[in-house]
Amino acid sequence: MENKIRWGLMGAGDIIERWIKGARQLDDMEILAVASRTPQSALAAAGKYGIKDVLTYEEMVQRKDIDVVYIPVPHMAHKELAIMAMEHGKSVLVEKPAAVNARDWQEMTECAKKNNVFLMEAVWTRFFPLIRKIKNLINEDGIGEVRAVNVAFSFRTPDSMLEGRLLNPNLAGGGLLDTGVYNLHFCDMIFDKEPVSIKGFAAIDSDQNHIQVDEQAMYIAKYDNGELASMASGVRTTMIDTAYIYGTKGYIEVPTFWKPTVMNVTIDGVTNTVKEEVGCRHSEYEDEGYQYEIMHVNECLRNGLKSSPVMTFEKSNQILMQCDDLRKQWGLKYPFE
């Protein structure tokens, strides 16, 4: 086997438990160290997941034996940590959204190019095998030409968490950057082009809790041939996270579209169910599908690529520009912007 890709974790939040279960399905990588803003979190993560070294962020980026870092921290810290890592020669996988706005992402991509390192936004949905099967059905032998998409991703943050990250404007909280980006990326995967226009409405400061971010929102994108996508996102309303793709000859229903493993395909009135379960080579760690994204990054690094041919700089930028457009319509600007 080739030398393993050596990873560092710049963040020790809840998501790393799920991400590590994906990483453990792959034998060509190892996680050498974990860092966190709070040393206690890093120590706890190291002990729980058997990671050898606990470091500060500064120590992490200076380690010569780490090839790439994963950054799963609150949105507003993505740029700072990614640039710190890249300026020390580290490749970066940064959680979605890639940055708080398109301007920050531009700084990050310029830094990646200047330092000749790999950079990618961690939109894991794009790498599920079922996505390829969906796209293969968008033709005359499948559902025909796609004319409309309907998709929602929203959950209710409990009242006990009103002071948490999801509802904090100082941490770029709100539904759009947390769940809405999944909607936008999914529509981009289906249409493979930018909308010519996107319009929406958001509920902000709508109740006695005076929440100053988008509690829930609905928005519609229009494309150059008249195609439409209706989307909804939020962090205070639970919605069914099923995507519907409507073509000229049929339609596809994708439950839990943001980590898709099954779809119902209806063509000429006949429905067939297609499944693509997540394989687990190490059954003691049940992976939801993070392995696909991590595998792609490892392949890119082994092939000397500096950006992903799937999750490109341009696509990340397009999605952030759509978010910027919507937030401008809603009058939602974060205090640090």
Please indicate, yes or no, if residue 313 is contained in any of the structural domains.
no
Cα 279-285-288 angle, rounded to 5 deg: 50
Please indicate, yes or no, if residue 211 is contained in any of the structural domains.
yes
Domain that holds residue 33: 5-125+284-306
Output the pLDDT for position 185: 98
3-state DSSP assignment of residue 112 = helix
- Number of domains, the chain: 2
Please indicate, yes or no, if residue 140 is contained in any of the structural domains.
yes
Output the pLDDT for position 214: 97
Please indicate, yes or no, if residue 108 is contained in any of the structural domains.
yes
Tell me if 119 sits within 8 A of 68, measured CB to CB. no
Output the pLDDT for position 285: 80
d(C-alpha 186, C-alpha 158), whole Å: 27
What are the mean pLDDT values of the chain's consecutive 10-residue runs (337 residues total)?
Answer: 88 92 94 94 93 95 97 96 98 98 98 98 98 97 97 94 91 97 98 98 88 96 98 97 98 98 97 95 86 98 98 98 98 95
Together in a domain, 44 and 144: no
Together in a domain, 268 and 294: no
- Return the HEC string of 294-328: HHHHHHHHHCCCCECCCCCHHHHHHHHHHHHHHHH
Together in a domain, 13 and 74: yes
Please indicate, yes or no, if residue 335 is contained in any of the structural domains.
no
Tell me if 263 sits within 8 A of 130, measured CB to CB. yes
Together in a domain, 176 and 301: no
Name the residue among 178, 97, 120, 99 with its Cα closest to residue 337. Answer: 99
Together in a domain, 174 and 41: no
Output the pLDDT for position 3: 87
Together in a domain, 120 and 139: no
Output the pLDDT for position 2: 66
Together in a domain, 119 and 250: no
Q: What's the CATH number where 262 sits?
A: 3.30.360.10
d(C-alpha 42, C-alpha 33), whole Å: 9
Together in a domain, 66 and 145: no
Please indicate, yes or no, if residue 336 is contained in any of the structural domains.
no
Together in a domain, 108 and 154: no
Please indicate, yes or no, if residue 337 is contained in any of the structural domains.
no
Together in a domain, 269 and 294: no
Output the pLDDT for position 284: 77
Together in a domain, 139 and 164: yes
Residue linked to tokens 């003691």: 284
Q: What's the CATH number where 77 sits?
A: 3.40.50.720
Together in a domain, 134 and 87: no
Output the pLDDT for position 1: 46
d(C-alpha 131, C-alpha 337), whole Å: 35
Q: How many residues does the chain have?
A: 337
Please indicate, yes or no, if residue 230 is contained in any of the structural domains.
yes
